[in-house]
Amino acid sequence: FTLTIFPVLLVLAITVSYLNPSLWVLFMAVSSLKGLSYALNEPCKEMLYMVTSDSIKFKAKAWIDVFGSRCAKGFGSIITGSSAGNPKMLVTYGSLTIFIISICLLGLSVIVGKEFRKLVRSGKIVGEVEDLSSCWEGLELSNRRVEI
C-alpha cells in the first residue's frame, strides 16, 4: 500500500496542475512532491532491496542511479525543448506525457508491491544461490575437463 501513495499523489498533483496551471499551484505541487519523494518514496524504494541479494542490489542501484535517472532527465529535457518556449504547449503536452507515465508508475507499484509481499512471506531472496553444492560440482567438473 505504501508503495502506491506517491504515484497516487503524483497523478493528483498533475491533474490539479493541469486544471489550474498557475505558477503558485505548480510551485506547491513540485514542493510537495519533492518532499514526499524524499520522505516517502525513497525509503519505500530502499525497502524493496530487502528481498534481493547484495549482488542484485548493487547492480540494480547502479543501473537506476546511472542510466535510469539520466534517461528520465533527458526525456524531460526533450519534452521541455519541444515546446519551443510556448508555455501553453508545454503544459498540454508535458502534463499528458507525465500523466501517462504516472499511471504506468502506479500500475507498476501495485505489481511490485504484490511481488514484494509474496517474497517476504516466502522468505526467498532474489538472486541468492539456493544450493551451493551444485555450484561446487559444476566447478569440479570444469576443473577435471581442464586437467584432462
Mean pLDDT, rounded, for 57-75: 85
Confidence class of residue 104 from pLDDT cuts 50, 70 and 90?
very high
pLDDT given at position 136: 54
pTM: 0.70
* Measured distance CA(43)–CA(82) in Å, rounded: 34
Confidence class of residue 130 from pLDDT cuts 50, 70 and 90?
low
Distant-in-sequence contacts of 107-112, Cβ < 8 A, 24+ apart: 109/3, 109/4, 109/6, 109/7, 110/3, 110/4, 112/3, 112/48
C-alpha torsion angle, residues 57, 63, 69, 71 (rounded to 10) = -150
* Measured distance CA(97)–CA(83) in Å, rounded: 13
Give me the percent of the chain exceeding a pLDDT of 90. Answer: 7
- What are the cell numbers at 64? 537506476
From residue 134, give the alpha-carbon distance in Å to each of 110, 125, 144: 36, 18, 15
